[in-house]
Each structure stands twice: as C-alpha cells, then as structure tokens.
Structure 1
Amino acid sequence: MKIKNNILETIGNTPMIRLNRVAKDFPCTVVAKVDYFNPGNSIKDRMALKMVEVAEQEGRLKPGGTIIEGTSGNTGMGLALAACIKGYKCIFVTTDKQSKEKADILKAVGAEVIVCPTNVMPDDPRSYYSVAKRLSQEIPNSCYMNQYDNLANRQAHYESTGPEIWEQTDGKITHLVCTAGTGGTITGTAMFLKEKNPNIQVWAIDVYGSLLTHYYQTGEVDMSYVHPYISEGFGEDFVPKNYDMRFIDHFEQVTDKDGAIMARRLAKEEGLFCGYSAGSCFQGLMQLKHKLKKDDLVVCIFHDHGSRYVGKIYNDQWMMERGFLEVKTCKDIINARAHKKLISVTPNQTVAEAVALMEKYDIEHIPVMENNKIVGAISEGGLFIKMFSNPEIKTQAISHVLEPAFPIVDMATPVEKLGSLINKTNGAVLACDEKGDYHIITKYDVLQSLGR
C-alpha cells in the first residue's frame, strides 16, 4: 500500500508546470518548479527537515529540546512540522513586515512567535537575528538553527531540489531562475546542476533595498545600498554563509510593486496561487527575456503559497494604499472629460429653466447650489413624476421640488466603489477637486470608464 508513515515523507517531488499565458511572448519554454505542493506549502520544508536531521546527528538537538529560529514564516513552518513529528518545542522570531497569516499559521502548529522590528541593523539587539541568538543562549536544551549560515540549508537543495529539476527536464535545463534570500535554495540547487552541466545559467532575483546584488558585483558589503523594502522572503541586509557566488551567473533586481503585480498575474492567468517571491522571480525573468534563445529551457522556482499573503498582495486595499494597484478613480473620470464645467442651478430658478438645461446639455441630474454650497439636487425622473401630477409646477422655484443632495466623494475614490453610491435614490455623486470646484459623476460616466 502507498501509505506515508508521517507528514515529513511527503516533502519533495513537487511538480514542474509549464507557464503558458504569462510566458507567451518568450522565445523559449518556461516552466515553474512549484514548491508550494510541499506539506508546509513552501520550499523551506526541504531545508528545515535537513537542518533538524543534521542537528540531531551532531548532537546539538536532543530529545525534548527547543528549536529556535529567525524566520519570515516559511522556514518556521517546515521546522514546526518536523517538531510535531519528532517531539520538539519551537520558538520563532520574525519581523513586523511579515504577513499576519504567517505568524497565525505558525501558532496553529504549536509554535511560539516573537515579532521584532524590521528597520534595524542585523547586529542591533532588537533585530530578529539578535533575539534568536540570545534566546538560544538563555534557554536550556535549545538549538538555534540559523538557516542563513547553516550549510545544511544548501545541502538539502543539493540533495533534493537539484536532482528533481535535472530528472524532470531530462537534463535539458539551460537556465535556473530563483529569488535570493538565505542563499540555500539557489546555491544548493545550482551546485548540483552545474556539476551535471556547467553551462547552465543561474540567475538570482533580488529586490531593491537588498545589498546582495551590489555584493555580487563588487565583493563589497556596502550598507548604503540597504533600505526598507516590502517584498517578503528574499533579499538581505547581510551576506549569509550559504552563498557561494561562483555558482551564480547574474543578479537582477525587481521592485516591490512589480513583484506584487506579477504574483497576481500568475494567479489569474496561470491558476498558480503563489507568494511574493514567485511573482518577483518571474518578473526578474521578464526583465531578462531578451537574453533567451529559442531552444532554451528555463526553470523558475516558485517558493511558497499565496495563502500567506491574502492580507497583502492579494488584498486590493493593501495594494492601493501602496500605489501598487492600477485602479481608476473619480479623478480619472473627470480628467477624461477635460474638466467640463459643472451645470448647476440655484433654488430660486424655475423648474422650466432646469428642464431647458437638461434638454440643452442632454443630462438627467443637476446639483442645486447656493453661494457655492450644495443644497440639494433635481433629476429628470423626479421632475417627470411631479410635473405629470401637476403641470403648473414648471413655473415654480426649484426650491419647491428639491431632492436630497448627491453624495460627495473623494477624488481618489476607486470607480468600482461608486456602484454602491449611485442608485435609485442617488442618481449621481459629486467630487470636489483641489481648487474647490465640484464635478458630477453619473452611472453613465462609470459605465464608460469601466468599458475603456
């Protein structure tokens, strides 16, 4: 019977999937090694188990011991799975830029999670590196895994990820593309593949704000290249010992925005619900596709699952707040009309005058203003009902047929949100620009905008 003895036996042997739509303009075949099929939903399961096994062999991790690690979440999940099966406790130290989902998942599998500030230097006592080291010194019978400098990290990928990719591509792989974080995945995989074929190109994808690219190019650790970034799971502000730059042929940097947008494209166009690093990995490849030839076979490593990021890159509001999501707003609608002057009436004008304006400008809704203030509104539909029951109303002042004022919205309001505001009660909305001028937006305006 094909029955696994425990969850750890399901790690590895993840599928290779051809990228069709997002790679349609590439001259060659592009495939993804989708490692969110691991039980902990990330490639980190491989190295987490290996680090535990090596620590056991070396006597650093003893029965009943406590595993301590600084992690962005995925390594912690792999370690937690190993701890569940092997009977260890776990304490994980992470940063405040990591998604809440990651911390919640770690807690769900029994780990204790400590959150530290992101924007401090690695040797700062508040950094998650420093806190993890301190805890390992203070807690009896504990083992600090240190995925950054623990060479069991890259050994795991030399023993599993590399051989799997070689076998799955029948040895025809020409390029390996992978985001660069601890260095374990890209270095270990590259070491194996280049043993098989030294001509295989290994491209590391980095993020702006990380020092890895500059270090690769110059051999210098220059902290002036380090600045805060939003991308998760890759990029570093120091050089982990898992790196051996001899096995990497190129470093390419991508922006936080481009990586996030590409992750959403992978989900919508390929059905691959991946994490931030996968989007960044493929975005980096997009920036390098001019280097590819017809017969190339490119393998991208997609590290983890999108469930870790539902509150971030897959959340429209989060994306909009950071300017990552291209959405149409009230301002876009108004700009497309070349700032046409608002047609309005005063309460003292007659209904007949309002009807004449509606006919002249082919409009259905007019705001009523007094001393440049909105005091109400009139609509073609409302006037029709009133005039049908009382034809003499045409000579009366608009103040006698006043309807509630249209809602006033911010110029930055997304067009999609206007649907709940423009309805039978409110036939339009108003937006006020920086000059204090009002602009009307109707259902017709919204439909036109969404259709563009």
Structure 2
Amino acid sequence: DRSVVDRWIKTEDKEAFIMARKLIRDEGLLCGGSSGTAVAAAMRAAKDLPADARVVVMLPDSVRNYMTKFLSDDWMIKQNFADERLIKVDNTEWWATKTVADLGLQSPMTVGPDVSIGAVTDILNRCAYDQLPVLDDAGKILGMVTVGQLTSMIVSKRAKKDDPCTKALYHNFLQVPIDMSLGSLSKLFLREHFALVVASQQRYTSEATEPVVTQVVCGIVSPIDLVKFISKVEDDE
C-alpha cells in the first residue's frame, strides 16, 4: 500500500553499488545492490533527522547474484560507476591533475536510432570517424556505432545496409565524466581505445518531486587526444 509511505527517495545505480561495496569492505556484510540502494537512501534521509535518532534499514539481498558485476573494479569502471578513488593513479606528471575538460574536445556528431546502417557508414567514411554515438529524441545514449561493429555485422550477414543502426549498436564502451583527471583517464586507456565523455544533467518533470539525472554527451576522447594535449603544451613551453 503506497499510501502508507511518507516519503520516496530515488537513488542512482552508481551510489547504490558504491555503497554496497563499502558495506562489504567496511562492515563485512555480503550484501547486494538493492541493499546498497536502501542504505544510500537511508543516509540521505538521516540528514533530516535529529542527531539522536535511531535508523533501521532492511538489507533485502545478498552478493550472490553480483559476483561478476559490481564486485569487479573493471565492471564498475566500464559502467561509469566507479568513484575517483577506485581509478586514481599515483602520477606526478604535470598533466595528471588536469581534467578531461582541459582537452577542449569538440561536441561529437551524433545519429538517431532510425538512421540506416548504410547512411551511418557513409558518414563515418566521409568524416573519417571511427565511431558515432546513437541518441534517441530525448538525448538518451542508446549506444555507439563503430567501424569494427558495422564491419562484423555486414560481413557476417547479421545486418543489411537498410537496417536501422540500432541493429548494430556497440554497448561495451566506456563513459567518463568531464571532470575526470587525465591521470585516471590514462590508466583507463591501458585497456580501452576510446571513451564517451558525459556530464550529468538534472531535469525536473511536471510530476517529479526530485530531479531526474540524465547523461549529456560532451565528446569522444581517445589516447591520441591525450598525447596531442601533452605534446602541444610541452612544445609551447
């Protein structure tokens, strides 16, 4: 009965998984993502309570179904759920504390989900791009279309040029915040060829009591962008 609830608190997957990892690490509680959600929400609610208030939180799940998910550092990083501490590198180079925003990336070209594979291929060839983000009409990131993925789909006859590009979406790509340090980014590039740069945007809807957080695409960054930035600054000096 939803009418007996005094207040609803919405949480994001990132804070839920970070909290679940913290409960495992600091408290020895082998809990899952839903438990992380409950505690993250309780921590927010507790801020509005008196200092002597007692808070009871139910932990509804275990870690059993998450062994290959949020327990993995690599999985957390690839899902853009990792906090800076997880991917921070000990780097004394001058550029390590700069951020992705300092690279001055251009806003990327994007395509809609109804654009055909043939049209996307023409765009990639004409503009000499290796990948393009696919966004829906609301700006939500659906995935990426890459030269490699398109080639694989066409050669194996799993897709035709008249099919919508969503049939050849690549989902296993990295998203990084625009304020990530370049030191941390350089560590990610040891195993990734590119990353989609995003910024969080809060938006209220007519019915929502709390803002909805969405990710806005700011650019695409690759190792060569980092190398060019370092080389240009050092050459200027």
TM-score when normalising by structure 1: 0.25
Higher relative contact order (CA 8 A, sep 6+): 2
Larger radius of gyration: 1
TM-score when normalising by structure 2: 0.46
